[in-house]
Structure formats: C-alpha cells, structure tokens
C-alpha cells in the first residue's frame, strides 16, 4: 500500500524538525556559555572553521551525531543534555 504525506503533514514535520534543531543548538549554546568555552575552541574540537560552528550554534544547520558526542564529552555533560527541553528561566520546579 502506497502512503503519501499530505503537504500539511510535511510542513508540520518540517516545523517540528526545525524546532528540534533550534532546541539542540540552544542547549549546546547554554552548556558552552556555562563553561566559558569559545567558539574557536569548539571549531577546533570539531575540526571545522568558525563559520561552521556558528551555523550549528545558531541552529541553521544540524550538528552530526559524532559532533554531539564530541561536544558532550568535551563539556562533561550527558548527550541527552542537548535534547532536553531547556528549563524555564524562572519559576521552574525541577522536582
């Protein structure tokens, strides 16, 4: 049976994908900021230029799985730290 996605579901999937990419980028930025790590240090770690790391940190392009793994190790955080929904800045109750 051939199953085709409607344009609406493809757009919704695309929006969810972009939102996830931005969330991962925001979580990476937060961990990097917490540790005071420079973008140039991250670029060197991941073997890319400044533009490459900047595009990833801004959420314009994806981090690869191996880049996420390298960042987690370098920043001493579990990989899933990058995938969690960021805590609310105030009033968040992490029971």
Q: List all residues 6 or more positions away from 43 whose beta carbon is below 8 Å from its beta carbon.
A: 49, 50, 52, 53
Structurally, the chain folds into a number of domains equal to: 1
Take residue 64 and report the two structure tokens written for it.
């690869």
- For residue 39, being part of any structural domain is answered with yes
- For residue 32, being part of any structural domain is answered with yes
pTM for the model stands at: 0.77
Q: Strand, helix or coil at 86?
A: coil
Q: Are 57 and 39 in contact (CB under 8 A)?
A: yes
Q: What is the pLDDT along the chain (95 residues), one digit of tens a residue?
A: 455 557 666 666 788 888 999 999 999 999 999 999 999 999 999 999 999 999 999 999 999 999 999 999 999 999 999 988 765 444 444 44
- The parent domain of residue 55 ranges over 10-82
- For residue 1, being part of any structural domain is answered with no
CA nearest neighbour of 61 among 84, 12, 28, 13: 28
């Amino acid at each position: 049976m051939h199953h085709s996605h409607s344009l609406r579901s493809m757009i919704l999937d695309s929006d969810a994908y972009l939102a996830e990419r931005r969330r991962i980028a925001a979580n990476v930025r937060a961990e990097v900021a917490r540790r005071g790590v420079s973008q140039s240090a991250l670029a060197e770690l991941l073997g890319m230029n400044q533009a490459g790391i900047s595009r990833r940190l801004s959420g314009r392009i994806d981090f690869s799985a191996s880049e996420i793994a390298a960042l987690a190790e370098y920043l001493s955080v579990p990989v899933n730290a990058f995938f969690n929904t960021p805590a609310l800045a105030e009033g968040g109750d992490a029971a």
